[in-house]
Structure 1
Amino acid sequence: MNEKENLEESQCFVLNIQKNWRTTYDAQVYITSLSVISNNDWNKLEQWINLHQDAFVYKLRRYYPMLSEDDIRIILLLRIDFNNAQITELFHILGSSFRIRRCRLKKKMNVTCESITDFIKSLHLE
């Protein structure tokens, strides 16, 4: 595939996301409807958040390069108001395992406040 075809495919992908997901709720409904979230689905969510939240994911990766893909995926879900129970279900893990992941995420991001969820929801990166 040449550069022009890649650009056209990318633009089509973005237009499709904008048409189908107008609100955070639309993204939540789509993600919760899946039994398994594919890499393509994660890419859709990432693109949607980048479009609607000032390139948040690009900036997140730049400011916190030590984050793993799973860390970023958890942050994306927290960013669109998924609760702990929903995330543990999507990742097929126990609540205790998710609490450990949240603690590790706080350390990686050097978060000193009590709630990583509140921190992520209010995070504005320049």
Structure 2
Amino acid sequence: MDKLLHNILLVDDNLTTISLNKLLIAKVENAVELHTAPDGKAALELLQKLAQEGTRFPDIILVDLKMPVMDGIEFYRHYKQVFTPEQVSNTKVVMLTTSLAPSDFKQAKDEGIEYFLNKPLTTTKLKEILV
């Protein structure tokens, strides 16, 4: 894998999951800029701040499907409405979930979400999405 600098946003309401995923990302990708948010609303606020500052948008957003305040699907819906196609065109949004319910995947696909990973995140899964 090329040692490109990836800019990643990790959105999850579980602090332990965020901590573990930060360690995993650092293990797989040592050249990374990592942002975190505890829910979809906070993630949108962070992205708006980055946009206002003219800072590069994340290459990858790893977002938990089930969260309080704003879940992953609601986040994605707002994300596509708030930001311009130019801002989001180079960002891969990956839904992280423990759900195996077909209805969750159907709802996410209906919204336009193309990438899904079952939790827990692993080095193999992470390497696949960093390509």
- TM-score of the pair, normalised by structure 2: 0.31
* Bigger fraction of residues in helix: 1
* Bigger fraction of residues in strand: 2
Q: Which structure: larger Rg?
A: 1
- TM-score of the pair, normalised by structure 1: 0.31
